[in-house]
Amino acid sequence: MTQEISDQITIMKDITEYYRDEIKDSIKTKSKMTEIKSLMQKANSYSSWRSLAQQYDQLPVVEAQVNEVYSPYYDYEYLQELVKCMIQAREEEDSLKLIEVIRSHSNRNVGNNNCPFLYRHAYNRSKRLIEQYQEELAKGL
């Protein structure tokens, strides 16, 4: 019985240490985010503000949000399919197909990619999928 209790105490200790480290990391990250935002508010030029915004966008929490494809605020499956079609047309050097894809989806808010909620976590970026769509669209034009 003593060994069982000892094992349970060890497990509880490991779990406690894990969450303690997670909480410490979370506090550090939030502190860094707050610090950068404060400096951004005090910036006296656009170039210094932009530099700070880029630092903010590179924080792991923001990077994770940007790189996560899924979001209830836009049609990510639809946008993925469009990007795939444009890449395929470009690789096949099928300019007519590329033009068709671009013209048939020329709405500026394709898949609701202009939704403000998609841009609330980063200052200079949006979801990576939206950036990829915009890059492919620019290449095709």
Q: List pLDDT tens digits, range 7-19.
A: 888 899 889 888 8
- One DSSP character per residue, 58-119 reads TSHHHHHHHH----TTS-HHHHHHHHHHHHHHHHTT-HHHHHHHHHHT--TTGGGTT-GGGG
**Taking the domains of the chain in order of start, what are their residue ranges?**
1-57, 67-141
pLDDT(42) > 70: yes
CB-based contacts of 124: which residues, under 8 Å, 6+ apart? 50, 53, 54, 57
Q: How confident is the model at residue 82 (pLDDT cuts 50, 70, 90)?
A: confident
Which pTM value belongs to this model? Answer: 0.57
pLDDT of 29 reads: 86
